[in-house]
Amino acid sequence: MPANLNLHGKRGVDLLHDPRLNKGTAFTEEERDALGLRGLVPPKVTTQAKQLSRILGHIRRKQNDLDKYTYLVSLQERNEALFYRVVIDNLDEMMPLIYTPTVGQACQKYALIFRRPQGLFISMKDRGRVKRVMQNWPEPGVRMIVVTDGERILGLGDLGANGMGIPVGKLSLYTACAGVAPQKCLPVMLDVGTNNEELIADPMYIGLPQNRLRGPAYDELVEEFFTAAQEVFPNVCIQFEDFGNTNAFRLLERYRDRACTFNDDIQGTASVTLAGLYSALRVSGADLASSTFLLFGAGEAGIGIGHLIVEALKTVGVSEAAARRRCWFVDSKGLVVSSRNDLAEHKLHFAHDHAPVSDLLEAVETLKPNMLIGASGMPGTFSEPVVRAMASLNKRPVIFALSNPTSRSECTAEQAYTWTQGRAIFASGSPFSPVTIDGHSHQPSQCNNAYIFPGVGMGVIASAARRVTDEMFFVAAKTLAGLVTEEDVRHGRIYPELRHIRNVSAAIAAAVADVAFQRGLTDMVRPDDLAAQIRNEMYNPEYAAYV
């Protein structure tokens, strides 16, 4: 039975209109009599399995992925358990529909497909009454909030309030991948305006049609939100998502020691990337301590990856200074070097003494990296000369093109494998189809944050941790890498298959919770069998029996 559900006195149409309680045609004969449902649903009683088969047929007949996304959202709004049954049992097929890459299209057209709110919209007009707004949410037991201000949605830029699709999608993955109960999840959009002139001029735009709030007024709204969230939902964890570089780093630093919070773009991306790098080393036979990393893109994701690589190098005996020297960055103006006077603060840790280098190809040829990681949002920038240069330097070049959605990827899987004669160890942020080179099929790996953040969140919830630390993301990366089997490696996979993701999330949750207990970050008494308790708490979308 789904966790902590009861009917709250609902019956008849009211029961059918509650997606958390509705079972559609699966209501039994006894339930139909007792709950006033006769005539309100077709007379034939069906099982959830039969419903699942019918829903899959509907989805697969849709003409395009956006139509499939819209249909799945509609299903979630009317029958939550069936929605999660569909997703969990068909994760390979459904994850690209409910999250990247399709969610990017959905956010771009959000005003056209918006039907009903699935979270809270808190705008700059709500300053001084944010707590009252949050008290309007009907679920009192929220433990996980994903919040965005819509400024940097995937690699698509400023989509303002249309970015609500991101926290909605992320929280669906918390439930599907890690079993965080839906009633514990709350998507939040901080509508502080948008600098996207097309949206401001669009009469269909659902957000405030004005330029973005900046400066002290912005900070005051965020502060009021954090304060209200902690008061209304004690023990809540707040995940920053898709904030612009202007705010992402400083907000994380401001709140990480005051609240249970993390930034998935900075910390989650770093963790899943590090896990992939560990696995890539198993495939290539190379050594972490002697590897050189070149990162293209010095924003939230890239800098986060760099910092976690440094921590990984330190664990194998490399000094911090030497570890930083192993990580090089190229941004829109060339190699990040200490002589530049245009560097944002978050780039300074990786600004090394070196002659200026103007472009990525020259950086590859000069620095001779073993691993090339793209987190730029600039499609096509891993050009044929760049990839071929990596192949000439490395027997098994590691090429991670991580920008989302697929349209923003630095290169495609086909390009990476073709230009390296099939020798590349490739991963991307969004999924690519297998590629055949000289009769051999190559399965691209997906470096998807969904391998990390759901498990981290579940671990924080299960341990009632007061803080989320970088150590938790490091152990999450190690745990994920450790779940890559020898069979995976033989097939060139550097992540476990998605069908195992609930097991992956449970293992990560246990590792994260263990950190919370070891570091005294919780007042809970550690259970005798932590892993078993976490598995017992995971949501399972089975229908409850109401009579």
DSSP calls for 234-271: TT-EEEE-S--HHHHHHHHHHHTTTSSEEEIIIIIHHH
Q: Tell me the average pLDDT across 379-392.
A: 98
At 440, which helix (H) or strand (E)?
A: strand 440-442
Contacts of residue 316, defined as CB under 8 A and 6 or more positions apart, other chains included, come to 288, 289
Q: Answer whether residue 343 shows pLDDT above 60.
A: yes
| Residues 168 and 256 sit within 8 Å (Cβ to Cβ) | no
Which of 222, 242, 259 terminates a domain? The answer is 259
Least confident span in 129-138, 471-480, 492-501:
492-501
Tell me the two tokens of residue 225: 């939100």
Q: What CATH number did the domain enclosing 63 receive?
A: 1.20.1370.30
Name the pLDDT band for 115 (thresholds 50, 70, 90). confident
**Sequential DSSP letters for 112-145:** HH--S-SSEEEEGGGTT-HHHHHTTSS-TT--EE
Q: Answer whether residue 156 shows pLDDT above 80.
A: yes
Q: What CATH number did the domain enclosing 403 receive?
A: 3.40.50.720
| Residue 532 located in a structural domain | no
pTM: 0.95
Q: What share of the chain in percent tops pLDDT 70?
A: 99
- Sheet order of strands, 327-331 included: 334-335, 327-331, 293-296, 371-374, 398-401, 425-428, 445-446
State the DSSP code for 337.
B
Domains contained in the chain, number: 3
Asked whether residue 306 falls in the same domain as residue 432, the answer is: yes
Q: Tell me the average pLDDT across 300-311.
A: 97
Q: Answer whether residue 506 shows pLDDT above 50.
A: yes
Name the pLDDT band for 1 (thresholds 50, 70, 90). very low
Tell me the two tokens of residue 65: 């992925």
| Residue 211 located in a structural domain | yes
Catalytic residue among 69, 84, 99, 417: 99
Q: Write b or e for each residue in 387-398: b if 16 or more Cβ atoms lie within 10 A of its Cβ, otherwise e.
A: bbbbbebbebbb
Asked whether residue 82 falls in the same domain as residue 120, the answer is: no
Q: Tell me the average pLDDT across 322-335.
A: 97
Asked whether residue 223 falls in the same domain as residue 346, the answer is: no
Residue 23 annotated among the catalytic residues of the structure: no
Amino acid at position 85, single letter:
R
Q: Tell me the average pLDDT across 273-278.
A: 98
Residue 99 annotated among the catalytic residues of the structure: yes
Asked whether residue 339 falls in the same domain as residue 282, the answer is: yes
Asked whether residue 274 falls in the same domain as residue 404, the answer is: yes
Which of 259, 277, 302 terminates a domain? The answer is 259
Q: Tell me the average pLDDT across 286-295.
A: 96
| Residues 36 and 16 sit within 8 Å (Cβ to Cβ) | no
Asked whether residue 240 falls in the same domain as residue 271, the answer is: no
Name the pLDDT band for 337 (thresholds 50, 70, 90). very high
Q: Answer whether residue 116 shows pLDDT above 90.
A: no
CA dihedral over 244, 106, 131, 255, signed as positive or negative = negative
| Residue 475 located in a structural domain | no
| Residue 486 located in a structural domain | no
Name the pLDDT band for 246 (thresholds 50, 70, 90). confident
Asked whether residue 219 falls in the same domain as residue 348, the answer is: no
Contacts of residue 60, defined as CB under 8 A and 6 or more positions apart, other chains included, come to none
Q: Tell me the average pLDDT across 85-96.
A: 96
Asked whether residue 145 falls in the same domain as residue 281, the answer is: no
Tell me how far the alpha carbon of residue 203 is from its chain's centroid: 31
Predicted confidence at residue 172, as pLDDT, reads 98
| Residue 346 located in a structural domain | yes
At 273, which helix (H) or strand (E)?
A: helix 269-284
Least confident span in 1-15, 81-95, 387-401:
1-15
| Residue 37 located in a structural domain | yes
Q: ω into residue 138 within 30 of 0, thus cis? A: no
Q: State how far the Cα of 138 lies from the Cα of 39, in Å rounded to an integer.
A: 29
Q: φ, ψ for residue 514 (rounded to 5)?
A: -60, -40
Helix/strand/coil for 185: strand
| Residue 16 located in a structural domain | yes
Name the pLDDT band for 491 (thresholds 50, 70, 90). confident
Q: Answer whether residue 153 shows pLDDT above 50.
A: yes
pLDDT tens digit string along 448-485? 999 999 999 999 999 999 999 999 999 999 999 999 99
pLDDT tens digit string along 15-64? 999 999 999 999 999 999 999 999 999 999 999 999 999 999 999 999 99
Among residues 333, 370, 325, 369, the alpha carbon closest in space to that of 349 is found at 325
Asked whether residue 42 falls in the same domain as residue 130, the answer is: no
Q: Answer whether residue 2 shows pLDDT above 70.
A: no
Predicted confidence at residue 490, as pLDDT, reads 85
Asked whether residue 299 falls in the same domain as residue 424, the answer is: yes
Asked whether residue 309 falls in the same domain as residue 413, the answer is: yes
Catalytic residue among 23, 69, 110, 170: 170
- Please, which residues bridge with residue 262 across strands? 239
Q: Answer whether residue 5 shows pLDDT above 80.
A: no
Asked whether residue 445 falls in the same domain as residue 349, the answer is: yes
Q: Is 114 left (phi over 0), alpha (psi -120 to 50) or beta?
A: beta
| Residues 370 and 122 sit within 8 Å (Cβ to Cβ) | no
Q: Tell me the average pLDDT across 160-166.
A: 97
At 371, which helix (H) or strand (E)?
A: strand 371-374
**What rounded mean pLDDT belongs to the chain?**
96
Among residues 139, 219, 197, 210, the alpha carbon closest in space to that of 171 is found at 139
Q: What share of the chain in percent tops pLDDT 90?
A: 94
Q: Answer whether residue 4 shows pLDDT above 80.
A: no
Q: State how far the Cα of 496 lies from the Cα of 482, in Å rounded to an integer.
A: 10
C-alpha R_g of the chain = 24
Q: Tell me the average pLDDT across 108-128.
A: 93
Q: Tell me the average pLDDT across 509-521.
A: 98
Q: Answer whether residue 6 shows pLDDT above 90.
A: no
Name the pLDDT band for 510 (thresholds 50, 70, 90). very high
Q: Answer whether residue 94 shows pLDDT above 70.
A: yes
Q: ω into residue 405 within 30 of 0, thus cis? A: yes
82 is in which domain, residue-wise?
Answer: 12-90
Contacts of residue 2, defined as CB under 8 A and 6 or more positions apart, other chains included, come to 20, 81, 181, 539, 540, 541, 542, 544
| Residue 540 located in a structural domain | no
> Based on the number of CB atoms within 10 Å of its own CB, is 358 exposed (0-12), middle (13-18) or buried (19 or more)?
exposed
Which of 449, 465, 488 terminates a domain? The answer is 449
